[in-house]
Amino acid sequence: MSLSNAPSPHHSVMQKECIEHFASCSLSVVFEGTLGAGGHAKAILEAHPEIKTYIGCDQDPEALEIAKEVLKPWKHKMVYVQGNFSELDTYLAKEGVRSVDGFFLT
């Protein structure tokens, strides 16, 4: 079974609340510390076309591969990090990011 046909290993919870939280925000750079299969990222990217960089971090390499398929329409905005969100400073420094407009962690 190809990744694009694989069942999602995780279902986004509280997706509506997530979108509502960022509704009045203008987002340029977003960091998500638990990207999973990309469900929240997809919803945020759809709601905020102004996003320039979305950094998605997850420890699970299989989840990252699924997320890459789910988020293919935004591949030019995506930065994928395999690791633990506790290393946030390192990942941001590597990308030359000094601040983020949105932070998401579930």
Please spell the DSSP secondary structure of 60-90, one letter per residue: -HHHHHHHHHHTGGGTTTEEEEES-GGGHHH
Nearest residue to 52 (alpha-carbon basis) of 21, 80, 78 = 78
How much is the pLDDT for 66? 95
> Whole domain around residue 83: which residue ranges?
26-99
How much is the pLDDT for 10? 53
Domain presence at residue 19: no
Residue 69 buriedness (CB in 10 A; 0-12 / 13-18 / 19+): middle
How much is the pLDDT for 21? 75
CATH number at residue 90: 3.40.50.150
**Cα–Cα distance between 40 and 16 in angstroms, integer?**
9
Q: What's the one-letter identity of residue 29?
A: V
Domain presence at residue 52: yes
Q: How many domains does the chain have?
A: 1
How much is the pLDDT for 2? 45
pLDDT block averages, 10 residues each, the chain of length 106: 48 70 89 93 95 97 96 98 94 94 87
Domain presence at residue 40: yes
